[in-house]
């Protein structure tokens, strides 16, 4: 992976298994097991995403298998009880689907997953058609970038831009995603900016900015 993958399109999976609104419960479970996924988008005929069926949507059938719960539980968990009796994706799915666009940033996708408490997001076009899927694991792919790539990007997009003529050479060492930068530059005002920009590089785990400035003190 070269360059900072700012967008979902850089990390998403394009080959996606999906179901229709008429897919039966057992078929859904079998597809999840076969493809080792925790959720499946539900598509209308033209490929438009109309919902998502997740493991959480399927579990009520097992949870309430022993019988009808007490009245209080019935009132509190009406939706789960309805899903316990569901047999098709249309009855099981959560709708509207929580989705993301391919041009969204990786950070935006991560934020949506955290807020909505989902593990996978269908990636849709502006017309709502399925374009791919992005998972939590996909959002971690930037951290697999080689240390050398990170060092090259920091040199090119941060150091050479902010400090084109350093007082002393700026050295960049990246070890397991942790960046250490040393050297002497002209202006102290840009050092904090440089540290923030380095932390913003996809795949960077941490930054130890030891730059000093000629104009400090």
pTM of the model: 0.76
Please check the confidence at residue 118 and state whether its pLDDT lies above 50: yes
Note the pLDDT of residue 78: 75
Buried b (16+ CB within 10 A) or exposed e, 138-150: bbebbeebebebb
Give tens-digit pLDDT for 157-205. Answer: 999 999 999 999 999 999 999 999 999 999 899 999 999 999 999 899 9
CB 153 within 8 A of CB 4: yes
Return contacts of 161-170, CB within 8 angstroms, 24+ apart.
162/190, 162/193, 162/194, 162/197, 163/190, 163/194, 167/214, 170/211
Q: What are phi and psi of 185, to 5 degrees?
A: -120, 175
Q: How confident is the model at residue 4 (pLDDT cuts 50, 70, 90)?
A: low
Locate 170 and state its tokens.
């700026």
Q: How confident is the model at residue 2 (pLDDT cuts 50, 70, 90)?
A: very low
Q: How confident is the model at residue 1 (pLDDT cuts 50, 70, 90)?
A: very low
Class of residue 69 by CB neighbours under 10 A (exposed 0-12, middle 13-18, buried 19+)? middle
Note the pLDDT of residue 24: 97
Please check the confidence at residue 217 and state whether its pLDDT lies above 70: no
Q: How far apart, in whole angstroms, are the C-alpha atoms of residue 204 and residue 186?
A: 25
Give tens-digit pLDDT for 30-87. Answer: 999 999 999 999 999 889 999 999 999 999 888 887 777 777 776 777 777 778 889 9
* Lowest model confidence (mean pLDDT) among 81-85, 100-104, 115-119, 126-130: 81-85
Specify the residue for token string 């792919």: 141
Max intra-chain CA distance, the chain: 76
Q: How confident is the model at residue 5 (pLDDT cuts 50, 70, 90)?
A: low
Q: What are phi and psi of 163, to 5 degrees?
A: -130, 65
Mean pLDDT of 129-138: 95
């Amino acid at each position: 992976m070269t360059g900072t993958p700012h967008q979902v399109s850089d990390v998403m999976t394009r080959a996606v298994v999906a179901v229709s609104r008429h897919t039966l419960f057992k078929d859904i479970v079998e597809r999840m097991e076969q493809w080792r996924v925790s959720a499946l988008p539900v598509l209308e005929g033209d490929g438009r995403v109309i919902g998502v069926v997740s493991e959480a949507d399927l579990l009520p059938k097992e949870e309430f298998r022993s019988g009808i719960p007490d009245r209080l539980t019935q009132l509190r968990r009406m939706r789960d009880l309805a899903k316990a009796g569901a047999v098709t994706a249309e009855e099981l799915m959560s709708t509207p689907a929580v989705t993301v666009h391919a041009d969204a940033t990786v950070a935006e996708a991560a934020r949506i997953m955290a807020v909505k408490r989902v593990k996978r997001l269908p990636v849709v076009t502006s017309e709502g058609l399925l374009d791919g899927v992005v998972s939590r694991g996909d959002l971690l792919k930037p951290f697999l970038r080689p240390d050398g790539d990170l060092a090259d990007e920091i040199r090119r997009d941060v150091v050479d831009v902010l400090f084109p003529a350093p007082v002393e050479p700026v050295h960049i060492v990246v070890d397991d995603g942790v960046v250490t930068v040393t050297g002497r530059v002209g202006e102290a005002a840009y050092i904090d900016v440089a540290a923030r920009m380095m932390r913003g590089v996809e795949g960077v785990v941490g930054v130890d900015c030891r730059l000093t400035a000629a104009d400090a003190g």
